[in-house]
């Protein structure tokens, strides 16, 4: 009854996150307790050599996700969702959403998965003396300029997916600083795009005589805790076609999945970090100081409050692993045995613990797309073994779990070994950790640091952006995000911590030797497999 009253009175926060394979809405109370969840499954498309989602898919996906949440509220609590205390939107970081002055899309949406920006990223990295990864929005923008695309002269707004949905709901062209840090380098002191680099970019493109400068077309940067507009009448109708949702709801700055992952794992303070492992895999380490030099393997981004943060971001995570589990499901059905996907994952993951620490000499690459960390621009999926390899089911699953962390491990080695970055704890979240004690154990072995998975880990970034919305309306004056999370949200939550096993660490190191050497095979496959 208490939960029902909270919902009726609007003492809640709603987070909506557009992930790579799922849009998820999480309604919480102001202590972080999950009240209801809505889900819409989707998948990106590869059209004209571009990883994308159509505008129709984006719009309908958000609406259907909200519709799903609303139905759950009706079913569980017997009430129609009308009032919400605060709303936040998050999505996959990076990418390129381009609109003209009338708000019309004028170029296909490009996701983080695209690696068609090599020339642009290289030139901008040299110009700024700052790593600009292939997937960053400014890399996409400059590549469109270099390619002479006609739409560029008509640009009025360039944003990420989260900032685009926020615009639809509020009419405001704003973005959270964590998501902005995947568009363009951020100055953590000014909480804005780096002014010197903005000036350099504007000078670089001056010869094209566009009627805009960079800050004219990029969203305004906000930090966690600031209000980023209110849900307009049009926004409420967009979200809830039934017309039940009330307008006027305050909205927090839209964020990227890295920032919401940090929030959802209480990893926003220096010396903390988190690893999100799913369709893509990335590690975020909050820094005490800037790195000593530029590394092409490391993104320099920020927390939702603007702390500098190092990101080791792998484009490819568990997609190939999921495909193999799907094959086992097909085989199971062929043999007349029906089982749930969840049970298959649980049994196959758990059985991998019986494998050799080094995966028995097996090797795999789940490269659906190019991989920035390993400097490979296209994807080819591969499973490899020698006649002497110990080929069994446990090792087969283990190598696909290990390889999901392979590229990220290379980035983390730079931070921990070369830069001597201190990390006291790593929090894990995402589907990789859903089977208790498996992915968590392998990550601990890979990074040599205790890994904790909270009971709330499965709620992911949608829960994280809901927490940021709650923080905006419920924080005390001057209360920092890290203090808010520590004292009001995570104090009562439980989780499980696994220390690194020495044999896992040694085995993962051996696997990584094979992984690095085998990259030449991946490059050869790209040259040969063009059918």
List, in sequence order, every residue forming a beta bridge with 204; answer none if it has no partner.
none
The mean pLDDT value for 9-34 works out to: 95
What distances in angstroms separate CA 319 from CA 323, 324, 340, 372, one per listed residue? 6, 9, 18, 17
C-alpha to C-alpha distance for 495 and 490, rounded to whole angstroms: 10
457 pLDDT higher than 70: no
List, in sequence order, every residue forming a beta bridge with 157; answer none if it has no partner.
99
pLDDT-derived band at 429, boundaries 50, 70, 90: confident
Task: Return the percent helix, strand and coil in the chain, to nearest 5.
Answer: 45, 20, 35
According to the model, what pLDDT value does residue 531 have? Answer: 81
According to the model, what pLDDT value does residue 288 have? Answer: 87
- pLDDT tens digits, residue range 120-149? 999 999 999 999 999 999 999 999 999 999
According to the model, what pLDDT value does residue 227 have? Answer: 97
The mean pLDDT value for 220-243 works out to: 97
- pLDDT tens digits, residue range 399-420? 999 999 999 999 999 999 999 9
* Coil/strand/helix, residue 523: helix
The region, left, alpha or beta by phi > 0 then psi within -120 to 50, assigned to residue 49 is left
H or E stretch at 139: helix 137-146
Out of 11-20, 120-129, 149-158, 312-321, least confident range:
312-321
pTM over 0.75: yes
What are the backbone dihedrals phi and psi of residue 346, each rounded to the nearest 5 degrees, phi first?
Answer: -60, -45
According to the model, what pLDDT value does residue 415 have? Answer: 93
What distances in angstroms separate CA 31 from CA 2, 15, 248, 481, one per listed residue? 13, 14, 22, 14
DSSP string, 330-356: HHHHHTT----HHHHHHHHHHHGGGS-
C-alpha to C-alpha distance for 215 and 221, rounded to whole angstroms: 10
The mean pLDDT value for 238-258 works out to: 96
The mean pLDDT value for 373-397 works out to: 95
354 pLDDT higher than 80: yes
The mean pLDDT value for 497-507 works out to: 95
Q: What residue has token string 């190092």?
A: 310
Helices and strands, counts by H and E, the chain: 18, 22
1 pLDDT higher than 80: no
Q: Which residues make Cβ contacts (< 8 Å) with residue 241, sequence separation at least 6?
A: 63, 67
Map 48-86 to HEC letters: CCEEECCHHHHHHHHHHHHHHHHHHHHHHHCCCCCCCCE
The mean pLDDT value for 69-98 works out to: 97
Percent of the chain beyond pLDDT 70?
99
- pLDDT tens digits, residue range 357-379? 999 999 999 999 889 889 898 89
Contact yes or no for 515/374 (Cβ under 8 A): no
According to the model, what pLDDT value does residue 492 have? Answer: 77
C-alpha to C-alpha distance for 316 and 379, rounded to whole angstroms: 9
C-alpha to C-alpha distance for 128 and 115, rounded to whole angstroms: 20
Domains of the chain, CATH where assigned: 266-316+411-498 (3.30.420.40), 319-409+502-528 (no CATH)
255 pLDDT higher than 80: yes
The mean pLDDT value for 293-303 works out to: 92
What are the backbone dihedrals phi and psi of residue 171, each rounded to the nearest 5 degrees, phi first?
Answer: 80, 5
> Widest CA span of the chain, in angstroms?
67
According to the model, what pLDDT value does residue 458 have? Answer: 63
Contact yes or no for 63/132 (Cβ under 8 A): no
269 pLDDT higher than 90: no
The mean pLDDT value for 246-275 works out to: 93
C-alpha to C-alpha distance for 401 and 91, rounded to whole angstroms: 25
What does DSSP assign to residue 431?
G
* Coil/strand/helix, residue 423: coil
Cα first-last separation, the chain: 60
237 pLDDT higher than 60: yes
pLDDT-derived band at 455, boundaries 50, 70, 90: confident
Report the mean per-residue pLDDT for the chain. Answer: 94
């Amino acid at each position: 009854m208490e939960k029902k009253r909270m919902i009726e009175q609007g003492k809640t926060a709603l987070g909506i996150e557009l992930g790579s394979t799922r849009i998820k809405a999480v309604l919480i109370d102001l202590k972080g307790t999950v009240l209801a969840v809505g889900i819409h499954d989707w998948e990106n498309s590869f059209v004209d050599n571009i990883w994308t989602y159509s505008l129709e898919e984006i719009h309908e996906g958000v609406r259907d996700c909200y519709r799903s949440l609303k139905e759950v509220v009706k079913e569980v609590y017997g009430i129609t969702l009308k009032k919400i205390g605060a709303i936040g939107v998050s999505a996959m970081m990076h990418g390129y959403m381009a609109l003209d002055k009338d708000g019309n899309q004028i170029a296909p949406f490009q996701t983080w998965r695209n690696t068609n920006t090599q020339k642009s990223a290289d030139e901008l990295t040299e110009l700024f003396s700052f790593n600009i990864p292939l997937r960053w929005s400014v890399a996409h923008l400059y590549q469109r300029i270099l390619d002479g695309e006609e739409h560029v002269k008509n640009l009025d707004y360039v944003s990420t997916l989260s900032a685009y949905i926020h615009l639809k709901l509020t009419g405001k062209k704003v973005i959270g600083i964590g998501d902005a840090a995947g568009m363009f380098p951020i100055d953590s002191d000014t909480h804005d795009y780096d002014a010197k680099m903005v000036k350099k970019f504007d000078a670089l493109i001056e010869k094209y005589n566009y009627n805009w400068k960079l800050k004219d077309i990029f969203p305004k940067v906000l930090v966690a805790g600031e209000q980023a507009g209110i849900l307009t009448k049009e926004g409420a109708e967009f979200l809830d076609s039934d017309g039940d949702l009330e307008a006027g709801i305050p909205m927090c700055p839209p964020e990227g999945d890295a920032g919401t992952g940090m929030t959802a794992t209480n990893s926003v303070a220096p010396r903390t970090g988190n690893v999100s492992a799913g369709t893509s895999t990335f590690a975020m380490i909050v820094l005490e100081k800037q790195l000593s030099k530029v590394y092409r393997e490391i993104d320099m981004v920020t927390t939702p409050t603007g702390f500098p943060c190092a990101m080791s971001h792998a484009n490819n995570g568990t997609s190939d692993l999921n495909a193999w589990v799907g094959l086992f499901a097909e085989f199971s059905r062929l043999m007349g045995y029906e089982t749930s996907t969840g049970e298959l994952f649980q049994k196959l993951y758990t059985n991998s613990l019986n494998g050799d620490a080094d995966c028995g000499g097996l090797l795999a690459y789940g490269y659906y797309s190019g991989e920035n960390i390993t400097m490979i621009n296209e994807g080819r999926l591969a499973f490899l073994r020698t006649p002497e390899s110990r080929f069994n089911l446990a090792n087969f699953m283990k190598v696909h779990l290990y390889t999901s962390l392979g590229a990220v491990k290379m980035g983390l080695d730079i931070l921990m070994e070369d830069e001597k970055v201190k990390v006291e704890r790593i929090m894990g979240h995402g589907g990789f950790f859903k089977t208790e004690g498996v992915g968590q154990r392998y990550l601990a072995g890979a990074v040599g640091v205790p890994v904790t998975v909270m009971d709330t880990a499965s709620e992911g970034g949608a829960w994280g952006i809901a927490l940021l919305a709650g923080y905006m309306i419920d924080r005390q004056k001057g209360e920092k995000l890290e203090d808010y999370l520590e004292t009001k949200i995570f104090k009562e939550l439980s989780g499980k911590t696994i220390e690194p096993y020495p044999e896992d660490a040694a085995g993962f190191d051996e696997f990584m030797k094979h992984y690095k050497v085998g990259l030449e095979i991946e490059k050869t496959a790209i040259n040969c497999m063009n059918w």
